[in-house]
Amino acid sequence: MNRRVLVAGALVVLPLLAVLVMNLGRDPHSIRSPLIGRPAPPFELRPVGGGGPRSLASLRGKPVVLNFWATWCMPCLEEHAALTAGARRYEPGVQFLGIVYDDEEARATSFLKQRGSSYPSLMDEGGRTAIVYGVAGVPETYFIDASGKVVSKYAGPLSPEVLAALVREAGGAS
């Protein structure tokens, strides 16, 4: 009788334990973006520091590197040099765009003045574009191919190597 109870208990508990152990150490936030393989959500946003609105649709035919960032985000600071250099390197075949996430325009302006920039950053009022892209923190970078399809998403600071690989994957010349 005791053995039967033990076996029945093990049958119930072991699969549960297996599920828990399998997912141990996995960050639930790092799931694959459902946008990958689908058309990138369109947007039309005003650049930091003024000027006419920039739209994704106007960039059709060119791979786009779309980087969500904020001045309060340390990893964004970390990757800033790689992105600035990357934008210069892949010009004019690949368009780099920044989207300011949950930050003030004045701060973004002074950040860019101080650290330099080689591509436009756009203001996302109300965070609507970030929501549509499913941004769950900064920095996050979306790689969009010439047909306007999302090819990949990278969460965290980009190194020049990773950036080069993902640009190549999106069809950008290297």
The answer to whether residue 133 forms part of the interface with other proteins (CB under 8 A) is yes
The answer to whether residue 130 forms part of the interface with other proteins (CB under 8 A) is yes
For the purposes of burial, counting CB atoms within 10 Å of the CB of 138, is it exposed (0-12), middle (13-18) or buried (19 or more)? buried
The answer to whether residue 38 forms part of the interface with other proteins (CB under 8 A) is yes
Residue in 34, 50, 52, 61 binding other proteins, rule: CB under 8 A: 34
How far from 121 is each of 33, 68, 100, 116, 149, CA to CA, in Å?
23, 9, 7, 12, 21
Give the Cα separation of 68 and 29 in Å (integer).
16
- DSSP annotation of 94 reads S
Cβ 166 to other proteins shortest distance, Å: 20
Q: Give the binding range for other proteins (CB under 8 A) out of 31-39, 58-66, 82-90, 112-120.
A: 31-39
The answer to whether residue 43 forms part of the interface with other proteins (CB under 8 A) is yes
> Which uninterrupted H or E stretch holds 110?
helix 105-115
Give the nearer residue to other proteins in terms of CB position, either 104 or 169. Answer: 104
Give the nearer residue to other proteins in terms of CB position, either 17 or 85. Answer: 17
Using an 8 Å Cβ cutoff, are 170 and 63 in contact?
yes
Using an 8 Å Cβ cutoff, are 95 and 72 in contact?
no
The answer to whether residue 33 forms part of the interface with other proteins (CB under 8 A) is yes
Give the Cα separation of 140 and 134 in Å (integer).
10
Cβ 164 to other proteins shortest distance, Å: 27
The answer to whether residue 135 forms part of the interface with other proteins (CB under 8 A) is yes
Cβ 24 to other proteins shortest distance, Å: 16
Binding site for other proteins (CB under 8 A): 28-29, 31-35, 38-39, 41-43, 102, 126-137
